């Protein structure tokens, strides 16, 4: 291997990250093919080993783009085989099962019969993160994953998770990839990553690199042709050293459009100088992959073992392939060389070579996933053995790598004759589900359309089931009108309009009406389904429809009837055995959401505990996301923040994986609200803005705007708070927000207008809140209206009236079990008490309320109470933040890094440039740093960082 030239500054920067590692950190090395990414990562790994890091290196390969977790297996599996399994975390059974599904070396850790749900695959990501943390307990770790642009989708999802949730241990993840080919999911998560973008070498550096291979005259031409790309420089210099010329091939770069013609020609000439057996062996290795073992490469080349090993020696001597750290494992000098070799092989020879590799893997007992790539590239239509292998590979990948599963099912479909509809249906249905699980909804719908085309036209019952499945997908992508028409058509085609199949379609029509914002149709279709179920004496369907009917009545503002129906529905559902509970989980989820809206928090949480377990057992992975979000909504209302946060994190992770914009917006909006309450305003604003990106024109998105508005108001942006509520809720009357929640929206609008100084408009919104809450019997909305009125009265100089209404707000919230809102009402009443002249009493009440809010983890509101106390001259210590740590150790690795740069005198723009971040991102980090350390200036921050006893790590 030639020495590294021209990357000293980049290596020094990466070593600085390595040396300052306090917690998980991610670094990306980016650049065009041949620019030196892999070489730089190799040097980083060598330096990390010198520093006694545990260094694990893996690489994605162009030939393994559908092998689940391929680069992770390359990096970790052999090492894990050498580790005592008892030392590997997670220690719980679910975590061990997840690891066993990914790593063959840990297969004995898991239960082979344990079920896995496609949409819950974030569990495997968490298990891997916990395992990495356990491996880094005794010494820090460097995990290198190179050529990520070729990584399979399961690996990309895992890397994306590690970027969003860095390990809580001294682990540096270094990834390398080509930006133009980078996976979309990774690109979206790179804003918080330390990014290093490699540029071409300077002329001076380039001359130094090739000084031993070419004279000055040739060097000038090599520099011109290479553009400063290190691999191109070396390849052209090799060609000059061997031939003394640069003669382009007759048809250069036919399969390498990104590689300069002269470089392609140089590679072709280098390959042409090989002996016959060495050339065959190199082609065989290219068929196996960038990393290969000689026996398999020999089989691909159709060489006997001795000839293969002799040829391997020639390839090593010519530096076309190189040894790796593993015995009997070799790699190509560069992926571009492997691409050139593979492209140079005749098509017929490639087919035969892949077939020989597939046969050799069968003899080795390799799993279908390892054989599928070669089978796909060599099988003929109608090949039953190949169809079986590809189907097995798809089935095996379904749970944790649905994108790969969809690929293998598609490969099998290409081999199945068109005149065999039964076989095609057996592959199209799981492929449609796999596509939906990884967020490829349009492709999933195309498959379901083909399923309908293959089904008998005279079987309306079966066709109705498929149309109902397609409707669920279309609701996610906003195609409500289309879904509604197809559902109505499927219903009309059924001979018995009161059959179970007809009732199911009516429930789907109800769901589509809800997402389309037509609450009248929502209630009408649910009522029709309930009538059907009761007429048939179908207890399972009756329980589901009754519970859902309560939610529909709530949305129609018929609260008395809604409560009566909710009681009946909850009683019927509670009596269902677990097997029947799973029949209508979607309806039960909406029943629970309605129960939360009607302040039946404990009943909703208990129901959702049952439904989550049933959904996972039944493999209905799309439902737990909404179930967990609904549970979190109940828990936030009750002041149980610590329980809500992990549920929301799981809901967000699942929604990201399935690319479900509706559920993602809802979960992130609740994260925004909970994070604001917990006292992290910058994070809350960021989460709210992310939620807004995915928000639609449905009731869930309208209520999501209210949670973001809370953060906007806390951040001093009343205009945005007002405008976003009005836009997403449909205008002045907030028509997209059901009346049962509308008072909260009007309260926020009143506060916004107070902040903006328009007290007349604020008074109008206070009246709207009062009217919206009147007669509902929902104490939380009464509290909202009373709190809005008290806030306005306090501004208008009417403290006695303000105190009366604030106390009424607190009492209403207490009746509902809204712990935080109750304390907020009492804090407002205490402020009014002070304004009315009872400063001592108001101060005592504020101190009591502040303690209550701190106990609930409601730091944001506790800080507001503390600010009032300071205004009254009371010395107040910093509020406790239970989700954070004290001192400099409280900071994340990125925040610590920024704090140290501030202490060194760097300004925000300089910090942004040095860390490859935007100025806005640095500003957001600064806001969090100031809050966590309770400082208010850069001078105070610098003093704290530079103080020896400030809590810095040794």
Q: What tens digit of pLDDT does each residue of 910-931 get?
A: 787 667 666 667 776 777 787 6
Q: Which residue has the tokens 């404990």?
A: 602
Cβ atoms of 62 and 334 closer than 8 Å: no
Q: What tens digit of pLDDT does each residue of 67-118 get?
A: 899 999 999 999 999 988 877 877 688 888 999 989 999 988 887 666 778 8
Closest CA to 670 of 630, 699, 620, 712: 630
Which pLDDT value is given to residue 913? Answer: 66
Which two structure tokens, joined as six digits, stand for 798?
């009417």
Which pLDDT value is given to residue 886? Answer: 44
Nearest-angstrom CA–CA distance, 663 and 669: 10
Of the pLDDT bands very low, low, confident and very high (cuts 50, 70, 90), residue 391 is: very high
3-class DSSP assignment, residue 617: helix
Nearest-angstrom CA–CA distance, 745 and 722: 9
Which pLDDT value is given to residue 46? Answer: 94
Nearest-angstrom CA–CA distance, 61 and 657: 23
Instruction: For residues 507-519, give the mean pLDDT.
Output: 82
Of the pLDDT bands very low, low, confident and very high (cuts 50, 70, 90), residue 120 is: confident
Of the pLDDT bands very low, low, confident and very high (cuts 50, 70, 90), residue 939 is: low
Which pLDDT value is given to residue 952? Answer: 31
3-class DSSP assignment, residue 3: coil
Total-model pTM:
0.82
Q: What tens digit of pLDDT does each residue of 660-699 get?
A: 888 898 999 999 999 999 999 988 998 998 888 877 767 7
Which pLDDT value is given to residue 936? Answer: 59
Cβ atoms of 44 and 144 closer than 8 Å: yes
Residue 56 has pLDDT above 80, yes or no: yes
Residues ≥6 apart with Cβ < 8 Å to 156: 148, 183, 185, 186
Which pLDDT value is given to residue 874? Answer: 85
Q: Which residue has the tokens 């293969």?
A: 308
Q: What tens digit of pLDDT does each residue of 291-328 get?
A: 899 999 999 999 999 999 999 999 999 999 999 888 88
Instruction: For residues 715-736, give the mean pLDDT.
Output: 91
Nearest-angstrom CA–CA distance, 759 and 147: 60
Q: Which residue has the tokens 């680069």?
A: 71
Give CA angle at 421 (418, 424), nearest 5°. 80
Closest CA to 24 of 130, 146, 135, 165: 165
Which two structure tokens, joined as six digits, stand for 387?
């169809």
Which pLDDT value is given to residue 480? Answer: 75
Which two structure tokens, joined as six digits, stand for 210?
């090739």
Half-sphere exposure of 922 (CA within 13 A, CB side): 21
% of the chain residues with pLDDT over 70: 93
Residue 949 has pLDDT above 60, yes or no: no
Cβ atoms of 271 and 264 closer than 8 Å: no
- For residue 852, give Cα distances in angstroms to 592, 601, 814, 861: 29, 21, 13, 10
Of the pLDDT bands very low, low, confident and very high (cuts 50, 70, 90), residue 954 is: very low
- The partner residues of 171 in beta bridges, in order of sequence, read 141
Which pLDDT value is given to residue 912? Answer: 73
Which pLDDT value is given to residue 206? Answer: 85
Closest CA to 331 of 35, 59, 55, 2: 59
3-class DSSP assignment, residue 183: coil
DSSP secondary structure string for all residues of 373-414 = HHHHTT--TT-HHHHHHHHHHHHHHTTT-HHHHHHHHHHHHH
Tell how far CA 447 is from the center of its chain. Answer: 25
Instruction: For residues 334-349, give the mean pLDDT.
Output: 91
Residue 884 has pLDDT above 50, yes or no: no
Residue 154 has pLDDT above 90, yes or no: yes
Which pLDDT value is given to residue 561? Answer: 94
Q: What tens digit of pLDDT does each residue of 729-753 get?
A: 889 899 988 889 999 999 999 999 9
Cβ atoms of 117 and 94 closer than 8 Å: no
Task: Name the residue with higher pLDDT: 629 or 893.
Answer: 629
Of the pLDDT bands very low, low, confident and very high (cuts 50, 70, 90), residue 403 is: very high
Q: Is the dihedral of CA 482, 488, 489, 491 positive or negative?
A: positive
Give CA angle at 570 (564, 576), nearest 5°. 140
Q: What tens digit of pLDDT does each residue of 557-593 get?
A: 899 999 999 999 999 999 999 888 888 888 899 999 9
- Starting at the edge strand found earlier in the chain, the sheet holding 25-30 runs 54-59, 141-146, 171-177, 25-30, 194-197
3-class DSSP assignment, residue 332: strand
Which two structure tokens, joined as six digits, stand for 23?
């917690």
Residue 249 has pLDDT above 60, yes or no: no
Q: What tens digit of pLDDT does each residue of 425-438 get?
A: 999 999 999 999 88
Residue 186 has pLDDT above 80, yes or no: no
Nearest-angstrom CA–CA distance, 646 and 661: 20
Q: What tens digit of pLDDT does each residue of 532-557 get?
A: 999 999 999 999 999 999 999 998 88
Look over the chain and give the mean of its residue pLDDT values, rounded to a whole number: 88
Which pLDDT value is given to residue 847? Answer: 94
Nearest-angstrom CA–CA distance, 514 and 480: 10
Residue 837 has pLDDT above 70, yes or no: yes
Nearest-angstrom CA–CA distance, 345 and 675: 58
Which two structure tokens, joined as six digits, stand for 662?
């509706």
% of the chain residues with pLDDT over 90: 54
Cβ atoms of 849 and 827 closer than 8 Å: yes
Which pLDDT value is given to residue 619? Answer: 79
Instruction: For residues 702-721, give the mean pLDDT.
Output: 90
């Amino acid at each position: 291997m030639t020495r590294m030239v021209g990357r000293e500054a980049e290596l020094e920067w990466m070593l600085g990250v390595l040396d300052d590692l306090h917690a998980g950190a991610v670094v990306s090395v980016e650049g065009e093919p041949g620019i030196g990414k892999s070489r730089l990562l190799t040097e980083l790994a060598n330096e990390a080993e010198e520093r006694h890091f545990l260094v694990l290196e893996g690489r994605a390969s162009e030939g393994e783009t559908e092998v689940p977790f391929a680069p992770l297996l390359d990096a970790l599996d052999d090492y894990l085989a050498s580790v005592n399994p008892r030392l590997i975390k997670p220690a719980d059974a679910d975590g061990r099962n997840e690891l066993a599904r990914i790593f063959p070396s840990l297969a004995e850790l898991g239960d082979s019969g344990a079920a896995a749900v496609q949409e819950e695959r974030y569990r495997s990501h968490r298990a891997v993160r916990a395992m990495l943390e356990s491996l880094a307990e005794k010494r820090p770790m460097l995990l290198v994953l190179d050529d990520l642009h070729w990584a399979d989708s399961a690996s990309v999802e895992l890397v994306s998770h590690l970027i969003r949730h860095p390990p809580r241990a001294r682990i540096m993840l270094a990834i390398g990839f080509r930006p133009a080919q980078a996976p979309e999911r990774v690109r979206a998560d790179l804003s918080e990553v330390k990014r290093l973008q490699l540029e071409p070498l300077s002329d001076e550096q380039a001359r130094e690199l090739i000084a031993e291979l070419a004279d000055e005259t040739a060097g000038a031409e090599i520099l011109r042709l290479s553009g400063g790309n290190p691999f191109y420089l070396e390849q052209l210099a090799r060609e000059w050293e061997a031939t003394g010329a640069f003669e382009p091939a007759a048809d250069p770069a036919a399969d390498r459009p990104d590689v300069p013609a002269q470089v392609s020609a140089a590679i072709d000439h280098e390959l042409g100088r090989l002996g016959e057996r060495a050339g065959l062996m190199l082609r065989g290795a290219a068929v196996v992959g960038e990393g290969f073992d000689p026996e398999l490469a020999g089989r691909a080349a159709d060489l006997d073992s001795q000839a293969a090993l002799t040829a391997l020696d020639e390839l090593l001597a010519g530096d076309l392939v190189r040894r790796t750290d593993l015995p009997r494992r070799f790699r190509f000098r560069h992926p571009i060389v492997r691409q050139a070799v593979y492209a140079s092989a005749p098509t017929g020879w490639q087919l035969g070579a892949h077939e020989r590799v597939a046969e050799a893997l069968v003899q080795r007992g390799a799993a279908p996933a390892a054989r599928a790539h070669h089978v796909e590239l060599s099988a003929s239509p109608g090949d039953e053995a190949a169809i079986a292998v590809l189907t097995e590979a798809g089935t095996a990948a379904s749970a944790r790598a649905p994108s790969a599963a969809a690929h293998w099912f598609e490969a099998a479909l290409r081999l199945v004759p068109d005149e065999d509809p039964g076989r095609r249906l057996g592959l199209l249905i799981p492929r449609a589900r796999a596509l939906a699980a990884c967020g490829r909804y349009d492709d999933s719908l195309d498959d379901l359309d083909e399923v309908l085309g293959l089904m008998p036209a005279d079987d309306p019952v079966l066709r109705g089931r498929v149309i109902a499945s397609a409707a669920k997908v279309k609701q996610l992508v906003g195609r409500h009108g289309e879904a509604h028409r197809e559902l109505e058509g499927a219903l009309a085609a059924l001979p018995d309009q009161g059959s179970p199949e007809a009732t199911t379609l009516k429930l789907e029509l109800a769901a589509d009406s809800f997402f389309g914002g037509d609450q009248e149709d929502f209630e009408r279709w649910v009522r029709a389904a309930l009538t059907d179920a009761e007429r048939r004496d179908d207890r399972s369907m009756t329980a589901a429809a009754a519970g859902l009917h309560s939610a529909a009545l709530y949305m129609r503002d018929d609260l008395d009837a809604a409560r009566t129906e909710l009681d009946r529905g909850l009683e019927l559902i509670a009596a269902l055995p677990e097997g029947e509970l799973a029949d209508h989980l979607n309806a039960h989820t909406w029943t629970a959401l309605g129960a939360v809206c009607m302040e039946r928090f404990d009943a909703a949480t208990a129901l959702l505990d049952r439904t989550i377990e049933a959904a996972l057992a039944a493999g209905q992975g799309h439902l737990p996301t909404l179930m967990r979000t609904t549970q979190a909504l109940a828990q936030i209302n009750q002041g149980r923040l610590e329980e809500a946060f992990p549920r929301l994190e799981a809901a967000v992770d699942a929604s990201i994986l399935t690319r479900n914009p509706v559920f993602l917006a809802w979960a992130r909006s609740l994260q925004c609200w909970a994070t604001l309450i917990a006292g992290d305003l910058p994070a809350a604003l960021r989460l709210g803005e992310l939620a807004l990106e995915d928000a639609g024109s449905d009731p869930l998105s309208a209520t999501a705007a209210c949670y973001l508005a809370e953060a906007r108001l806390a951040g001093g942006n009343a205009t945005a708070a007002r405008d976003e509520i009005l836009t997403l809720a449909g205008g002045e009357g907030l028509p997209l927000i059901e009346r049962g929640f509308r008072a909260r929206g009007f309260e926020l609008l009143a506060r916004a207008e107070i902040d903006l100084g328009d007290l007349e408009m604020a008074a109008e919104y206070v009246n709207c809140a009062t009217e919206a809450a009147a007669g509902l019997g929902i104490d939380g909305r009464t509290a909202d209206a009373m709190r809005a009125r008290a806030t306005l009265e306090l501004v208008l100089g009417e403290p006695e009236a303000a105190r009366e209404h604030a106390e009424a707000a607190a009492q209403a919230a207490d009746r509902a079990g809204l712990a935080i809102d109750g304390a907020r009402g009492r804090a407002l009443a205490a402020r009014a008490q002070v304004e009315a002249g009872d400063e001592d009493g108001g101060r005592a009440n504020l101190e009591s309320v502040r303690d209550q809010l701190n106990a609930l983890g409601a730091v944001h509101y506790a800080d507001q109470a503390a600010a009032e106390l300071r205004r009254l001259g009371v010395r107040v210590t910093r509020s406790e933040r239970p989700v954070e740590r004290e001192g400099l150790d409280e900071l994340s690795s990125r925040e610590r890094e920024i704090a140290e740069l501030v202490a060194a005198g760097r300004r925000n723009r300089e910090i942004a440039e040095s860390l490859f971040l935007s100025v806005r991102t640095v500003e957001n980090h600064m806001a969090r740093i100031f809050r966590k350390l309770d400082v208010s200036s850069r001078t105070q921050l610098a003093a704290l960082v530079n103080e020896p006893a400030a809590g810095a790590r040794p």
